């Protein structure tokens, strides 16, 4: 992993390089530890897979003993997470998952969201989950997030139909 990284390399790929180096791993070993195809990490590093699904990011983060938000964030954001503590870090993790799942679902359903719609949906889901307190465990997040995303997307479709 001593190969110089180009300045255009995505920040999360630079984080991935750093974590692999720090932990003495290689791309194949990390892929297997994360339960991915043996060449998955290499494909990400080489730019063939630029934006992995959230499940893949979760698996990589777990194998690297970090979190998806830390893996995918800039150094500035990671420093802020460390400085502000665990609750802030958990909020960032939840927002990261909500935003990523919303992007994935919008793509899967062919729904193009305006930035305003996207922000409003992300904020709504975050507030709803926060109102639930600690009742939504890490394992149950997907089960809690996906139905809300689908409900909000259906609502937007209906709202747009009424507006025409």
Region of residue 37 (phi > 0: left; psi between -120 and 50: alpha; otherwise: beta): beta
- Say yes or no: 111 and 62 in one domain: no
DSSP string, 70-119: HHHS-HHHHHHHHHH-HHHHHHHHHHHHHHHHHHHHHHHHTPPPPHHHHH
- Say yes or no: 90 and 117 in one domain: yes
Average pLDDT of the segment spanning 106-117: 89
CATH of the domain at 39: 1.10.260.40
**Domain-located, residue 59:** yes
- Say yes or no: 15 and 54 in one domain: yes
- The Cα–Cα gap between 13 and 67 comes to 14
- Say yes or no: 62 and 99 in one domain: no
What is the pLDDT, as a whole number, of residue 31?
A: 94
Report the percent of the chain where pLDDT is more than 70.
Answer: 87
Dihedral pair phi/psi, residue 162, rounded to 5°: -65, -30
Give the end of a domain, one of 19, 37, 72: 72
The total number of structural domains that make up the chain: 2
- Say yes or no: 67 and 106 in one domain: no
Q: Which of 2-6, 38-42, 140-144 has the highest mean pLDDT?
A: 38-42
**Domain-located, residue 65:** yes
Give the end of a domain, one of 41, 72, 103: 72
- Say yes or no: 55 and 123 in one domain: no
- Say yes or no: 89 and 115 in one domain: yes
- Say yes or no: 25 and 91 in one domain: no
- Say yes or no: 62 and 23 in one domain: yes
**Domain-located, residue 3:** no
- Structural domain including 133 reads 85-163
- The Cα–Cα gap between 130 and 133 comes to 5
Does pLDDT of 92 surpass 90? no
Average pLDDT of the segment spanning 26-44: 93
| pLDDT tens per residue across span 55-83 | 899 899 999 999 888 888 888 888 888 89
- Say yes or no: 110 and 135 in one domain: yes
Q: What is the pTM of this model?
A: 0.66
Give the end of a domain, one of 37, 72, 107: 72
**Domain-located, residue 35:** yes
């Amino acid at each position: 992993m001593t190969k110089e990284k180009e300045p255009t390399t995505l920040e999360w790929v630079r984080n991935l390089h750093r974590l692999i180096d720090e932990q003495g791993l290689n791309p194949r070993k990390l892929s297997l530890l994360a339960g991915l195809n043996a060449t998955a990490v290499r494909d990400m590093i080489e730019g063939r897979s630029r934006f992995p699904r959230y499940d893949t990011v979760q698996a990589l983060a777990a194998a690297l003993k970090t979190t998806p938000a830390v893996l995918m964030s800039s150094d500035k954001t990671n420093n802020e997470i460390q400085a502000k503590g665990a609750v802030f870090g958990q909020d960032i993790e939840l927002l990261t998952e909500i935003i990523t799942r919303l992007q994935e679902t919008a793509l899967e359903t062919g729904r193009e969201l305006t930035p305003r719609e996207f922000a409003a949906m992300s904020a709504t889901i975050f507030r709803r989950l926060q109102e639930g307190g600690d009742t939504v465990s890490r394992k149950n997040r997907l089960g809690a997030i996906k139905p809300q995303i689908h409900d909000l997307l259906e609502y937007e479709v209906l709202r747009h139909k009424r507006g025409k």
